[in-house]
Amino acid sequence: MSLAIIQDRSVLKHAQAPSEETIGITPQQPVNSIETESVKAPPLIKLCGIGKSFPGVRALQDVSLSLWPGEVHMIMGENGAGKSTLMKVMCGAYKADEGHFEYQGRKVAVRGAADARRLGVAVIFQEYSLVPYLDVAQNIFLGREPMRRIPGLIDHSRTHREAAALLQRLGSDIDTRAIVENLSVAQHQVIEIAKALSQDAKVLVLDEPTAALSVREAEKLFKLVADLREQGVAMAYISHRMDEVFELGDRVSVMRDGKMVTTLAANQATPDELVSLMVGRKVNMNYSRGERPMPGDVVLEVKDLAGTNGLAQASLQVRSREIVGIAGLVGSGRTELVRTIFGADPATSGTIVIRGEPFKGGPADARRKGLALIPEDRKRQGLALEQTVGDNLVSASLPRHFPSSWFSPARADRLAKSKIEQLSIAPARPRKSAGKLSGGNQQKIVIGKWLLDDAELFIFDEPTRGIDVGAKEQIFALMDGLVRQGRSVLMISSEMNEIVRVCDRAYVMKDMRIVGEVSHEQLSEDNLVRLAMGGK
Amino acid sequence: MPVLQTSFGFSPRVRELPGCAWALLLLLVLFAATASNFLTTGNLLNIASQATLLLLLALPMTFVIMTEGLDLSLGALLSLCTVIFAIVVKSSGSVSAGILACVMIGVLIGALNGSLISMLGIPPFVATLGTMGIATGLALLLSEERELIELGATAQAAWSGIWMGIPLPVWIAAVSYGLFHFLLKHTRFGVSVIALGGNSEALRLAGKRVVPRLTLVYVLAGVYAAIAGVLLAGRINGGNPTAAQGMEFDAIAAVVVGGTHFVKGRGTLFGTLLGVILITVLRNGLNLLGLTASIQVAAIGILVIAALAMESRR
Amino acid sequence: MNNILVIGSPEARTIALRLFALGVIGLIIGSVAEPFTNAGNLLNILRQASLLFLIASGLTIVIIAGGLDLSIGANVSLSACLAATVIQSSGSLLAGAATALASGLAIGAMNALVICVLRVPAFIATYGMLWIVQGIAYWYMSGTIIHGFPSEVRYIGIGFTAGIPIPVYIMLAFLLLGTLFTQRTTWGRQIYAIGANPTAASLSGIPVNHRVALVYVISGAMSGLAALVFLARLNSAEADLGDSLMLQAVAAVLIGGTSLFGGTGTLAGTLLGCLVLTVVLNGMNLLSISASWQPIVTGAIVIASVLFDAIGRRNR
């Protein structure tokens, strides 16, 4: 079986040269086949009819999922489909509002993380559960170090022995005495898995584990997953990568809009089918752009840009009066791209040209050139939550409106009120603390901040995340208005249908590179998703 | 970047240690050449006894700085303990009662520091700045209108006693070093000290509570300030409310110059030992060369900033 | 916006609360200690509080920006000693003032260099600077004391105009300039933004590093000027002149409602904090409470203020 896998992988590698022609990927030979229909034993763990709501949002609705030992169960879906929420319910971080758990056929209560741990569920984090300056063995046994007979003394040899055994079981040759800080992200992941196994994990939850890995490291992880499967560990594996799904998966579940759409055996599914299951939805919003304005001159030109934040290679162009989208999956490098353009992270190579002049510098310089960045994490990077709405609104444009450096609160108040009115920010009180407003209104503040600075090129990073439908439409209409005034918009979104509806054309990113450009005529969700997921 | 992989799970960065050790070597050579009395037995013994006191403060300070904290109150606490020790010994005649009283005060103030910092997220320098003021004031108050000298032979025994040819304070320092080394490398508490500075979230995820562990770090510092206070009282044969004023600075400097840099739980006790010797030698040497304490302090300050600046460049 | 004159704003409430507390404390002390309400005593309190404010104002701005300056006391000591030397040798008030200012600026610039360029964390950078500057001051003075200045110099410290001590006028000038800077300049508004959320401020195109460097230089300069007034008041300069000032300044800033976490605070609040602290210490003096209680009370006030701030943040 292992031989077959290696062969399949090499075939995959040849087929994956990213280009506009890579529309479909032919699935490989069935990797594994657990004939789920014929298994008599109840699943190891089963979530039944799980529902979970947050204020204003129904994140999960009647979702059921079962996991058998030794099964790799792929979970797919677009962003916001509910995958992460479901996993958090499974590991006890969230408590389900509806539905129940079953463990080996018997109903059990899972009220929190401790209950989930007792059932043997472990989530593999990337960074935040390891201590940088402890060694591998210490990290694996953090808080549960084996002790010697004399009370209080850690048994170092046993710690390292058992850690080494665990790592060997995972086929890893990491030195147990290596300091975690010096190891790579891929190795951190292996350590996390070893840590989970050391606590008798029977169910592992992996959330996009290959997102930050190189091709070789990912292959090692695949082998690890295969070994774990043989050892009877069940795995819930969130993935966006078609090749992974078909290479590793036994079954595939597709989620959409908080519901479980269907569960298929991996060898009975095709990529096209999966894509349409993920993406198919009724477009129920009324916004339509009407007549597109004609694009003008090139405002931003980026060539072969790479940065310290991991951006590998990007070239793009934005003209005035255009809304250009940047599509791609989580971890594809979209935020890194715009941060490098804006100067928030340093560039290591390539050029940025703004209105014909080469650009170098930080955010303060970018601002002076007319750029604006509305970050993904609006609470932590876009706003000062403790300050007032008014303070936030004027924070970027102070040099523009008060060139002599003399500040007039009355004028600032007027400016703030003008944006509050224009954007319908509610409550319409400039002195209200920004942290108290809803997500949609907070986003409007961030946008308003840059409107006041009369920016020319607006870069939006996931502008509608966590925002209700009404506010979304307003933001799209706003973008349209901006480009009609002659400005430009660069928009990152994980919701492909948004990009299709709102943008004139789009670039697609994968693995820290721009892998394709989709013109207006070719702009469709299917095309975007295929490019974004195209083989590895 | 070569990493020294030692057998017990934390490695002193190879670059730091030799830096500190080379600097020490350089200083020793320099002073031996320029200061006439530097290499006499008397002077070396002097260095040793000064260093032992500083080590008693610097060892727990290493733990504190490894958790990315700071304890500014140790000098004042030390002085306070000399006063308390003197008072108790003179009034009750019992040295053990004096020791007990000091340790209790050390625990109390350490616990106060620790709980303010761990429970309420108060920045360590502010919390300990406040307790420093309180300890200073208390020491001044208690020593008003009191005669605090002549504590008797027993009290001085800890400082002047000799066992197997080596002064007792050196034994105490050596045992303490061993104790901290043991704590750091062989106990769960030691692992949690590193975790507190490196990723306290990891501790929480492992189900271990942060508050008691972080508090214990500061309590340890308080207790050791008390022990050092008892020793110092024995040495000066009395209590003095400003006896150790500013010593926390030397302790912090020793830890930082030795290689523990407020970085994610990384730290080295051996580095602290070297740092203590370096600081003590520096002071001693400059003193012999006729440079006042103030210049010494300025020089040490520059060393601290230089060490941290080099850390940031990495 | 952050305009304390707006009734009902959080800043106005903070000020009102402090005024109230001041009044209450004043009443209590006044009833217990008779000489408290003497005109002479009240003027003395005003003078003392003004002196403290001169240093605490710079510290306030640094803390608003999210930073910290522990070197201010040592700054005052060294600047005072240097200025005193110049005054004694040249007899010129102007030369003395220039020296004090230059010294303060230099120390502030050093802080800015270490924190903004060398990227050393502020608390340990200014702590190290404290000892360096203090060491230089002690070495420079070698235990001596410079005593006796020309009358025009002394006038600044102990003189009156229209019945009000000169330091009060200087304090008012600092208050006005400082408030103008923080409330009525773009730089001041940017500093608040930086303290509230440095990441968001940077991404809003605010040159964070420049502004932070600026506040340390300002704090240094203000400490330098304060040194002049101190030496004028004391008619002498010694190396330990500023030793207790740092703790008192921190306490005054915290009492005044400025949060250590940055982004909020007013100079008026700090002024009230200076008054409250001075009144408390003065009352203790009048009640013949031993001076040893002063650091205890100040330390306790520091802890209590941060406690309230931390608890308040939790509940929000």
Do B301 and C128 make contact, defined as CB atoms within 8 angstroms? yes
Q: Cβ neighbours of residue A495 under 8 Å, at least 6 residues apart?
A: A78, A79, A80, A464
Query: A86 vs chain B: nearest CA distance in angstroms?
Result: 20
Lowest mean pLDDT among A271-275, A435-439, B259-263: A271-275
Q: Residue C300: its pLDDT value, please?
A: 93
Q: How far is the C-alpha of B77 from the C-alpha of B71, rounded, in Å?
A: 11
Q: Residue A401: its pLDDT value, please?
A: 95
Query: pLDDT per residue over A55-78, tens digit each?
Result: 767 889 999 999 999 999 999 887
Number of Cβ pairs < 8 A linking chain B and chain C: 143
3-state secondary structure of A49: strand
Interface of C with A (CB under 8 A): 1-3, 6, 9, 183-190, 192-193, 196-197, 199-207, 263-264
Domain boundaries, position C258: 46-276
Do C135 and B298 make contact, defined as CB atoms within 8 angstroms? yes
A384/C contact by beta carbon, under 8 A: yes
Query: Assign residue B96 a region: left if phi > 0, alpha if psi is -120 to 50, beta otherwise?
Result: alpha
Other Cβ atoms less than 10 A from the Cβ of A468: the count is 13
Which of B63, B188, B216 should one mutate to test binding to chain A, selecting the residue with the greatest count of A CBs within 10 A? B188
Instruction: Identify which of A87-101, A108-122, A207-221, B273-287 has the greatest average pLDDT.
Output: B273-287
Overall number of domains in chain C: 1
Q: Cβ neighbours of residue B282 under 8 Å, at least 6 residues apart?
A: B27, B296, B299, B300
Chain centroid to CA A52: 20
> CA A24, A29, A31, A35 torsion: positive or negative?
positive
Residue B271 has pLDDT above 90, yes or no: yes
Query: B157 vs chain C: nearest CA distance in angstroms?
Result: 31
Residue A20 has pLDDT above 50, yes or no: no
Q: Cβ neighbours of residue A410 under 8 Å, at least 6 residues apart?
A: none
Taking each helix axis as running N to C, give the angle between helix B247-257 and helix B269-288, from 0 to 180 degrees, rounded to the nearest 10.
120
Residue A35 has pLDDT above 50, yes or no: no
Chain C environment of B247 (Cβ under 8 Å)? none
Which of A376, A387, A447 should one mutate to test binding to chain C, selecting the residue with the greatest count of C CBs within 10 A? A387
Spatial contact of B256 and B275, defined as CB atoms under 8 Å apart = yes
Any domain includes C286: no
Any domain includes C10: no
Q: Cβ neighbours of residue A258 under 8 Å, at least 6 residues apart?
A: A58, A59, A60, A61, A63, A81, A82, A85
Any domain includes C223: yes
- Give me A519's structure tokens: 């013109």
Q: Which stretches within A395-468 are classed as H helix?
A: 398-401, 409-423, 439-452
ipTM over 0.85: yes
Query: A184 vs chain B: nearest CA distance in angstroms?
Result: 14
Q: How far is the C-alpha of B210 from the C-alpha of B220, rounded, in Å?
A: 16
Q: Residue C222: its pLDDT value, please?
A: 95
Domains of chain B, with CATH numbers? 43-287+294-313 (1.10.3470)
Domains of chain A, with CATH numbers? 298-533 (3.40.50.300)
Do A390 and C9 make contact, defined as CB atoms within 8 angstroms? no
Cα–Cα distance list, B169 to A152, B253, C90 (Å): 27, 22, 53
Any domain includes C300: no
Chain B environment of C303 (Cβ under 8 Å)? 116, 122, 126-127, 130-131
Query: pLDDT per residue over A450-499, tens digit each?
Result: 999 999 999 999 998 777 777 788 889 899 999 999 999 999 998 888 89
Residue A18 has pLDDT above 70, yes or no: no
Query: pLDDT per residue over C150-181, tens digit each?
Result: 988 999 888 888 888 899 999 999 999 999 99
Do C193 and A387 make contact, defined as CB atoms within 8 angstroms? yes
DSSP B162: E
* Section C113-122 average pLDDT: 94
Interface of C with B (CB under 8 A): 68, 70, 114, 118-121, 123-125, 127-139, 142, 239, 247, 250, 260, 290-300, 302-303, 306-307, 310-311
> What is the average pLDDT score of chain C?
91
Nearest to C185 among A364, A405, A413 (CB): A405
Residue C243 has pLDDT above 80, yes or no: yes
Spatial contact of B202 and A130, defined as CB atoms under 8 Å apart = yes
Rg, chain C, Cα only: 19
Closest CA to B234 of B133, B155, B139: B155
Whole-model pTM over 0.80:
yes
Residue A126 has pLDDT above 70, yes or no: no
DSSP letters, A293-342, are: PPP-SEEEEEEEEEETTS--BEEEEEETT-EEEEEE-TTSSHHHHHHHHH
Spatial contact of B57 and B74, defined as CB atoms under 8 Å apart = yes
Any domain includes C242: yes
Any domain includes C7: no
In terms of Cβ atoms closer than 10 Å to its own Cβ (0-12, 13-18, 19+), residue A216 is: exposed
